[in-house]
Amino acid sequence: MVTGDLRSGGHTSALVKAAVLGGTAPSAHNSQPWRWRVGPDVLDLLLERSRVLATADPDARLAVLSCGVALHHARLELAASGWLAEVERRPTDPGDHLARIRLAGRTERSSRAGRLVRASLLRRTDRRSRPSAPLDHDKLRTIAAAIRREDTRLTLLRPPQTHLLAAAVRQSCEAEGDDPAALAELDQWVGVGRRSGTGIPAGVLGSGDRRQALQNAGTTAIRDVRDHVAVLAVLSTTADTRPDRLRAGEALSAGWLTATTIEVSVLPLSSVIEVAASRSAIRDLIGDGHPQLVLRFAAGEPDSTLPRSPRLPAAAIIEHVGGE
Ligand SMILES: Cc1cc2nc3c(=O)[nH]c(=O)nc-3n(C[C@H](O)[C@H](O)[C@H](O)COP(=O)(O)O)c2cc1C
């Protein structure tokens, strides 16, 4: 039910709050490849090319997906605060304008959105192996339903498919490990060389070689599946246009935050998607649709003792146009 009048004020502050929560979203290598433009009743989401991983992600596939995660976080903030928002996702355009959120009126605060906003404050990427805890399959069904509501499919892989995925993971790790440009790019985002406010601090990855920590994530995940403590799954969309990739990101946000509320940890594995040959192997594996991301699910409540990755300050990602 729509209540109240759109002209009752507070639009700009609501949109800024939405953009700020969007800025806390997870992104590939914590690159935060987004920018927000706040107008009187609209919030525009733009792709920030200077923060796209040029070598690992030349088509900005993962960057657009990451922007979709931010878009969903912003939508949640508005819904939790009682705003009705219309979202227009833009097809490819050279201006890198991905989506526009338009405030359409006031409505009741969504308690479900409120729960997910609270989960977004607890959520972290948990790369640890969870050798002891079994994973509840009913919880996976709840997560898959949240993902489906965002027009995206979650295919849980059965053990024989996991063996095939293991081959794709090996192939992508070898391809990236042999590529000096990919390794140099990794140095810009991981550890001491990273740009301020972005990237993954060495402390977040724990001890040991930081490259290996990221690249081994796939191998560790597959071992956990063999040990029956993790499940691998593929996020996929019917088509593979830019709005589809954005939708996959919105679905990742919905699935990840839902998982956080029911004590399931999520680890995205993107190298298999970055390398075209492995992406095509995964496409054969799921039989239908376009793979957008591989995810590892494991049991595990959010752990507030895990170190946090930084985020850019609001002023670096939000610009104002016009006035209220
Ligand atoms: C599209 C996408 C791809 C990602 N790929 C990987 C990955 O391959 N390996 C990994 O360890 N983390 C991956 N991550 C997790 C990010 O590194 C993480 O979200 C970021 O560093 C911010 O940290 P936080 O999630 O703890 O806030 C990915 C995240 C997103 C959104």
Query: Could you state, in chain order, the average pLDDT of each consecutive group of 10 residues for the chain (324 residues)?
Result: 50 96 97 96 96 94 98 98 96 85 97 98 88 85 98 92 82 77 88 87 71 66 80 96 97 98 94 88 92 94 88 97 67
How remote is the CA of residue 283 from the centroid of ligand 1, in Å?
A: 22
Beta bridge partners of 89: 99
CA distances from 193 to 177, 183, 184, 185, 260 (A): 19, 12, 10, 10, 31
Question: What local confidence, expressed as pLDDT, does residue 207 receive?
Answer: 56
Mutating to test ligand 1, I would choose from 245, 270, 278, 304 the residue with most ligand atoms within 8 A of its C-beta, which is 270
Question: What local confidence, expressed as pLDDT, does residue 165 receive?
Answer: 85
Closest protein CA for atom 4 of ligand 1: 28
How remote is the CA of residue 270 from the centroid of ligand 1, in Å?
A: 8
To which H or E segment does residue 47 belong?
strand 42-47
SS3 category, 126: coil
- Write down the domain spans for the chain: 6-122+309-320, 137-299
Q: Is 287 exposed, middle or buried (0-12, 13-18, 19+ CB in 10 A)?
A: exposed
Question: What local confidence, expressed as pLDDT, does residue 4 receive?
Answer: 45
Please list every protein residue whose CB sits less than 6 Å from any atom of ligand 1.
26-30, 62, 65-66, 69, 124-125, 127, 200, 214, 217, 268-271, 293, 309
How remote is the CA of residue 199 from the centroid of ligand 1, in Å?
A: 10
CATH fold for domain 6-122+309-320: NADH Oxidase (3.40.109)
Residues 208 and 190: beta-carbon distance below 8 Å? no
Question: Helix 242-261 vs helix 61-80: angle between axes, to the nearest 10 degrees?
Answer: 50
How remote is the CA of residue 1 from the centroid of ligand 1, in Å?
A: 37
To which H or E segment does residue 137 belong?
helix 137-148
Question: What local confidence, expressed as pLDDT, does residue 5 receive?
Answer: 44
From the list 95, 103, 90, 96, the residue with the least C-alpha distance to 18 is 103
| Amino acid symbol at 287 | G
Question: What local confidence, expressed as pLDDT, does residue 1 receive?
Answer: 44
Question: What local confidence, expressed as pLDDT, does residue 315 receive?
Answer: 97
List the helix and strand counts (H, then E) for the chain: 11, 9
Question: What local confidence, expressed as pLDDT, does residue 233 receive?
Answer: 95
How remote is the CA of residue 51 from the centroid of ligand 1, in Å?
A: 14
Beta bridge partners of 37: 44, 319
Range 137-299: architecture per CATH: 3-Layer(aba) Sandwich (3.40)
Question: Against a cut of 0.75, is the pTM above it?
Answer: yes
| 6-122+309-320 shares its CATH topology with 137-299 | yes
Strand locations in 259-316, DSSP E?
264-269, 290-299
* Index of the ligand 1 atom closest to the CA of residue 306: 26
How remote is the CA of residue 27 from the centroid of ligand 1, in Å?
A: 5
Separation of alpha carbons 13 and 176, rounded Å: 43
* Index of the ligand 1 atom closest to the CA of residue 213: 11
Question: What local confidence, expressed as pLDDT, does residue 153 receive?
Answer: 98
Mutating to test ligand 1, I would choose from 27, 71, 220, 267 the residue with most ligand atoms within 8 A of its C-beta, which is 27
